[in-house]
């Protein structure tokens, strides 16, 4: 294939330029696929090599994986996975691997050079006890504040997956970081967020009504599914567990996981299975985008539009029910393909629903953007600066609203995305408006993709069978979820298990830059900004306000903040 | 604004009176798995495949029974049990109304007798599974000789002993001498 040659040439030229600069520091070069290369580098050179790949060779940080490989060769391994986006898509993947000796669990932090690595390195410290030397942020990320000091759950010898340690303390002691000084107030938002009922604790630093900075504490619902998958489940069972990472875009995780295992084991799912997966991924995007646009309408006070968008969204739920038997969790994947075929009746029913949905969405989106309030509330709000975006590798409509036409479906085609016509949508406004418009336009691309796939389904089987698994082979899987790129990294293990599975959800890359998007906006816009990254969680239950100037703490109920966001009258912060 | 009003009027009411009127689901809807005791072999294929471990199979050699159970509170309605069941003893239905006031009401349990080995008297496999294997072999290869049929009823350990005894001293030497 021509594109395959081009993509491996791209990878080769990146490898050559890194070798030319770092020569002896590059210890090993291995190829997992024509578009995937892994360079093992000396631990000391890790930050320089990652920074060079990131900023000088068009790299975007896809994921960072820690792995306890002491049982295999006495070391922990670090994998920094980058998507190398220079020239024309499709792009190659570059993994920079470094080994950390088991007796000296430290590594030089990459974050001072590449800010995008900050969460990943905090996570490595929590879950593996690997100390990122030079990482400015010494707080926990994943583990709760009352977790024992020296217990790192993902070390193979740390604990049984069912073990739940006693809390070591009662106090909530997470130190939020923000500016201090005359006139700066604090607004804690949370522990539940404003649009979807999931926990996250925000601290907004305000000067009067204006947000000057923000910090947040998440991972309240970290359940240790990686540990569970490694210990208790077999390959096929994890596809169902992966689907439960997200209640909105779970199927994207299931597909990314299945692709990762399939690539590691050298299995190719039949073309018909990939077409079915693609259709379902887009059905999922339809309902997710309609949900988010609906929530945006709700937050700007346009509730009739919200109700109607949700009414139309029901058609996408029906499509899923017809095709998979479930409205939300599709349960369609096994390693090697899918479990249900699409029959003629189902295809016709879905095409009919698709036509109805298309007409209605076009009409509703026109009505929404014609609402006078809509532009006023969204334009210029929650600006994601292109340079901040470049530094933090955010993904999805969040990034595409800031002028980067980056979409994994195009950058690293999978499924049937390179067999049907569609285009990457991007906007240049960098604000809430741009992100919402990207989603509105993407709904139409999804409709086109589903229609094209349904009308030209490749014939043949839907499940590859009779393959063998290769213990300790490594594979990468990715999907463009409605909220951005998901990346799953898998190392196969013995006994039909995964040795290590590292799912990275899209929102993981979108949280760190959110802080910059808050700055300069008003408190009333905060719910709108958070909802505009379409986070995999929402609905702030209540809001506490700390005004440093007045030395005062105030709790604002969630409904009050939401009311303020919608009406913009009678600030709850006033006396 | 006028367009919106027109839209509202055109659409009319879309909400359903559920739960006062039933809701129809798609023909292939994945609902509550229904268990058919009369077909179950107790082989445990469903329990092995079940991702959330909603289905479990426990052996009690002491009582000589296999306990099969499903906990609907854990079920994710994926239908893997239906896919792997050799006899169609479990299959998804269209029923999604599973609410119960007591947690125990979400559990279905069944006990199956185990066959006892005529050699040592120990229970070693569900009787129905053993019968299923015998019938499958018969369907594929015709009726077994009395010797083979008798051997099928033995537990794995007694079968090894019997095979070793049959092959005589030479066989025992080649076998590596586990005892």
pLDDT tens-digit profile of A265-299? Answer: 999 999 999 999 999 999 999 999 999 999 889 88
Non-local CB neighbours of B23 within 8 Å, separated by 6+ positions: B16
Two tokens at A474? 């490594």
Q: Specify the pLDDT at position A543.
A: 34
B79 CB neighbours in chain A (<8 A) are 325, 331, 339
Q: pLDDT (tens digit, 9 = 90+) per residue, A76-104?
A: 999 999 999 998 889 999 999 999 999 99
Residue B20 covered by a domain: no
Identify whether the C-beta of residue A258 lies closer than 8 Å to the C-beta of residue A519.
Answer: no
Q: Is the pTM of this model over 0.80?
A: yes
Min Cα separation B53/chain A (Å): 10
Nearest chain B residue (CA) to A235: B51
* Residue A345: closest C-alpha in chain B: B27
Backbone angles phi, psi at A377, to 5 degrees: -85, -20
Residue B28, phi then psi, degrees to nearest 5: -100, 30
In chain A, what percentage of residues exceed pLDDT 90?
64
CB-CB under 8 Å, B76 with A329: yes
Is residue A43 within a helix (H) or strand (E), and if so which, with residue range? none
Lowest mean pLDDT among A202-216, A527-541, B101-115: A527-541
Closest listed residue to residue B81, CA positions, set B57, B111, B116: B57
**What letter would DSSP give residue A199?**
B
Q: How many angstroms separate the Cα of A59 from the Cα of each of A21, A83, A84?
A: 16, 5, 4
* Closest to A435 measured CA to CA, from A401, A396, A394, A486: A401
pLDDT band at A192 (very low <50, low <70, confident <90, very high): low
Query: Which tokens belong to A102?
Result: 């088991």
Q: Give domain A225-373+434-504's CATH number out of 1.10.645.10, 1.10.3210.10, 3.30.300.180, 2.60.120.10.
A: 1.10.645.10
Quickly list DSSP for A520-572: T-BGGGHHHHHHHT--S-B-B-EEEEEETTTTEEEEEEHHHHHHHHHH--S-T
Q: What is the mean pLDDT of chain A?
A: 88
- Could you read off the pLDDT of A34-72 as tens digits, one per residue? 899 999 999 999 999 999 999 999 999 999 999 999 999
What tokens does A306 get? 């919200």
Nearest to B51 among A233, A311, A366 (CB): A233
Report yes or no: A131 and A125 within 8 Å, Cβ to Cβ: yes
CATH architecture of A2-133: 2-Layer Sandwich (3.30)
Give the integer Cα–Cα distance in Å for A536 and A507: 6
Q: Which fold has domain A185-221+509-567?
A: Enolase-like; domain 1 (3.30.390)
User: Beta strand pairing status for A93-101 and A36-41?
Assistant: parallel
- CB burial of A379-415 (b: ≥16 within 10 Å; e: otherwise) equals eebbbbeeebbbbbbbbbbbbbbbbbebbbbbbbbbb
Rg (C-alpha) for chain B, rounded Å, is: 26
- Helix-strand-coil percent breakdown of chain A, rounded to 5? 45, 20, 35
Is B28 at the interface with chain A, CB within 8 A?
yes
Count Cβ atoms below 10 Å from residue B158 Cβ, excluding itself. 18
Q: Give the least confident one: A2-6, A95-99, A308-312, A409-413.
A: A2-6
- Contact state of A240 with B76 under an 8 Å Cβ cutoff: yes
Extended strands (E) in A440-536: 474-481, 484-492, 498-504
Residues 6+ positions from A272 with CB-CB distance below 8 Å: A341, A457, A458, A459, A460, A461, A462
- Token output for A422: 């569609």
Q: Which residue of B has its CA nearest to A317?
A: B26
List chain A residues with CB under 8 Å of B77: 326, 329, 331
> Per the structure block, which two tokens stand in for A111?
């974050």
* Pairing mode of beta strands A106-108, A131-133: parallel
Cα–Cα–Cα angle for A157, A158, A161, rounded to 5 degrees: 100
Nearest Cα residue to A289 out of A439, A437, A435: A439
Rounded Cα distance, A567 and A208, in Å: 18
Strands of A194-278 (E only): list them: 201-207, 210-217
Residue B21 covered by a domain: no
What confidence category does residue A174 fall into, taking pLDDT thresholds of 50, 70 and 90?
A: confident
**Average pLDDT, rounded, for chain B:** 90
- Give the whole-angstrom CA distance, residue B128 versus residue B124: 12
Residue A135 token pair? 């990482």
* A172: confidence class by pLDDT, cuts 50, 70, 90: low
Which pLDDT band, with edges at 50, 70 and 90, does A497 fall under? Answer: very high
Residue of B nearest to A350 (CA): B26
pLDDT, tens only, A506-528: 888 988 899 899 999 998 888 88
Q: What CATH number does the domain containing B130 carry?
A: 3.30.70.20
Angle between helices A225-232 and A235-242 (to 10 degrees): 160
Per the listing, tokens 């569900």 go with B126
Contact in structure between A477 and A263 (CB atoms under 8 Å): yes
Q: What is the pLDDT of residue A541?
A: 25
Contact A270, A462 (CB under 8 A): yes
Q: Which domain holds residue B124?
A: 27-167
DSSP characters for A107-171? EE-STTT-GGGHHHHHHHHHHH--EEET-S--S-SSS-TTS-TT--TTSTTT--TT--PPPS-SS
Number of domains in chain B: 1
DSSP codes joined into one string, B102-136: SGGGGEEEEEEEEEEPTTT--EEEEHHHHHHHHHH
Residue A95: CB atoms within 10 A of its CB come to 21
For residue A346, how many other CB atoms are within 10 A of its CB?
A: 19
What SS3 class is residue A23?
helix
Judged by a CB distance cut-off of 8 A, whether residue B11 touches chain A is yes
B30 with A325: Cβ contact below 8 A: yes
Q: Which residues pair with A106 in a beta bridge?
A: A131
The answer to whether residue B102 neighbours chain A at the CB level (below 8 Å) is no
Does a cis peptide bond (omega within 30 degrees of 0) precede residue A90? yes
In a mutational test of the A interface, the residue from B3, B14, B30 whose CB has the highest number of chain A CBs within 10 Å is B30
Residues 6+ apart with CB under 8 A from A507: A483, A484, A533, A534, A535, A536, A537
Residue in B8, B14, B29 closest to A325 by CB: B29
Strand ranges in A198-278 using DSSP code E only, listed in sequence order: 201-207, 210-217
Assigned domain for B7 exists: no
In a domain, B179, yes or no: no
**pLDDT the model gives residue A523:** 86
ipTM: 0.87
The domain segmentation of chain A, as residue ranges, is: 2-133, 185-221+509-567, 225-373+434-504
Neighbours of A309 (CB within 10 A): 26
Preceding amide of A191 cis, omega within 30: yes
Q: pLDDT tens digits, chain B, 179 residues: what are they?
A: 788 889 889 999 988 999 999 999 999 999 999 999 999 999 999 999 999 999 999 999 899 999 999 999 999 999 999 999 999 999 999 999 999 999 999 999 999 999 999 999 999 999 999 999 999 999 998 887 888 888 889 999 999 998 888 887 654 555 444 44
Residue that has been written with the tokens 């009258």 in this structure: A569
CB atoms closer than 10 angstroms to residue B173: 10
Q: How close is the nearest chain A Cα to the Cα of B83, in Å?
A: 9
Q: What is the DSSP string of A369-394?
A: HHSHHHHHHHTT-S---HHHHHHH--
Query: For residue A242, which of B98, B32, B94, B76 has the smallest C-alpha distance?
Result: B76
DSSP H helices, B22-155, are: 45-49, 80-84, 127-141, 146-152
Q: Give me the mean pLDDT over the A372-400 stretch.
A: 92
Between B77 and A143, where is the model more confident? B77
Segment A241-245 shows an average pLDDT of: 91
B88 in A contact zone (CB under 8 Å): no
Contact A529, A414 (CB under 8 A): no
Q: B21 CB near a chain A CB, below 8 Å?
A: no
The answer to whether A512 touches A116, Cβ cutoff 8 Å, is yes
B76 touches chain A (CB under 8 A): yes
Q: Which of A447, A465, A225, A498 is nearest to A339 (CA)?
A: A465
Containing H/E element for A497?
none
Query: A536 falls in which pLDDT band (50, 70, 90)?
Result: low
pLDDT at A294: 92
- What are the φ and ψ backbone dihedral angles of A437, each rounded to 5 degrees? -65, -35
């Amino acid at each position: 294939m021509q594109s395959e040659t081009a993509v491996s040439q791209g990878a080769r030229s990146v490898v050559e330029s890194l070798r030319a600069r770092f020569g002896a520091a590059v210890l090993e070069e291995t190829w997992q696929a024509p578009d995937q290369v892994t360079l093992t580098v000396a631990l000391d050179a890790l930050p320089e090599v990652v920074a060079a790949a990131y900023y000088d060779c068009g790299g975007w940080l896809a994921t960072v994986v820690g792995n306890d490989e002491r049982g295999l060769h006495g070391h922990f391994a670090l994998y920094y996975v980058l998507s190398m986006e220079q020239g024309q898509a499709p792009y190659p993947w570059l993994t920079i691997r470094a080994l950390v000796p088991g007796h000296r669990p430290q590594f030089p932090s990459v974050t001072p050079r590449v800010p995008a690595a900050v969460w990943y390195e905090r996570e490595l410290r929590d879950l593996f006890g690997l100390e990122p030397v030079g990482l400015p942020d010494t707080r926990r990320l994943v583990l709760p504040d009352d977790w024992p000091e020296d217990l790192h759950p993902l070390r193979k010898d740390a604990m049984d997956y069912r073990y739940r340690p006693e809390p070591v303390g009662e106090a909530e002691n997470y130190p939020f970081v923000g500016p201090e000084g005359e006139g700066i107030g604090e607004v804690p938002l949370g522990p539940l967020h404003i649009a979807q009922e999931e926990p996250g604790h925000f601290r907004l630093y305000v000067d009067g009504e204006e947000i000057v900075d923000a910090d947040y504490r998440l991972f309240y619902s970290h359940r240790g599914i990686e540990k569970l998958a490694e210990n208790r489940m077999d390959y096929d069972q994890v596809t169902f567990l992966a689907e439960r990472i997200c209640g909105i875009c779970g199927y994207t995780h299931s597909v990314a996981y299945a692709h990762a295992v399939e690539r590691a084991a050298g299995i190719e799912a039949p073309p018909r299975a990939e077409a079915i997966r693609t259709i379902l991924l887009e059905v999922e995007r339809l309902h997710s985008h309609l949900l988010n646009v609906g929530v945006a309408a709700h937050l700007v006070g346009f509730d009739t539009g919200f109700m109607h968008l949700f009414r139309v969204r029901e058609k996408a739920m029906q499509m899923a029910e017809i095709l998979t038997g479930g409205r939300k969790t599709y349960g369609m994947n096994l390693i090697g393909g899918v479990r249900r075929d699409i029959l003629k009746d189902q295809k016709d029913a879905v095409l009919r629903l698709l036509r109805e949905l298309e007409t209605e969405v076009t009409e509703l989106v026109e009505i929404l953007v014609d609402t006078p309030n809509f532009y006023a509330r969204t334009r210029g709000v929650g600006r994601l600066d292109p340079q901040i975006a470049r530094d933090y590798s955010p993904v999805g409509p969040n990034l595409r609203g800031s002028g980067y036409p980056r979409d994994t479906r195009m950058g690293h085609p999978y499924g049937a995305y390179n067999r049907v016509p569609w285009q990457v949508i991007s906007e240049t406004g960098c604000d809430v408006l741009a992100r919402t418009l990207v989603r509105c336009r993407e709904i139409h691309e999804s409709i086109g993709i589903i229609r094209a796939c349904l009308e030209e389904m490749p014939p043949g089987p839907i499940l590859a069978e009779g393959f063998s698994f290769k213990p300790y082979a490594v594979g990468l899987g990715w999907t463009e979820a409605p909220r951005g790129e998901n990346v799953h990294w898998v190392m196969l293990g013995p006994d039909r298990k995964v040795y290590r599975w590292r799912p990275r959800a899209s929102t993981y890359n979108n949280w760190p830059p959110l802080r910059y998007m808050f700055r300069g906006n008003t408190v009333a816009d905060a719910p709108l900004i958070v909802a505009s990254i379409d986070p995999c969680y929402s609905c702030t239950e209540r809001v506490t306000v700390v005004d440093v100037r007045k030395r005062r703490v105030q709790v604002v109920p969630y409904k009050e903040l939401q009311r303020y966001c919608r009406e913009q009258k009678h600030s709850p912060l006033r006396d | 604004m006028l367009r919106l009003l027109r839209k509202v009027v055109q659409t009319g009411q879309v909400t359903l009176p559920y739960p006062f009127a039933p809701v129809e689901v798609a023909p292939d809807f994945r609902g509550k798995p229904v268990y058919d005791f009369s077909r179950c072999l107790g082989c445990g294929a469903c329990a092995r495949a079940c991702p959330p471990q909603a289905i479990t199979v426990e052996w009690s050699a002491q009582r000589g029974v296999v306990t099969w159970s499903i906990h609907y509170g854990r079920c994710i309605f994926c239908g893997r049990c239906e896919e792997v069941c050799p006899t169609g003893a479990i299959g998804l239905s269209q029923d999604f109304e599973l609410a119960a006031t007591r947690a125990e009401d979400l559990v279905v349990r069944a006990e199956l007798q185990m066959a006892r080995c005529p050699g040592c008297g120990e229970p070693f496999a569900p009787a129905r599974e053993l019968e299923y294997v015998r019938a499958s072999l018969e369907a594929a290869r015709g009726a077994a000789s009395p010797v083979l049929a008798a051997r099928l009823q033995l537990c794995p350990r007694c079968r090894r002993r019997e095979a070793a005894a049959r092959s005589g001293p030479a066989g025992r030497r080649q076998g590596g001498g586990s005892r």
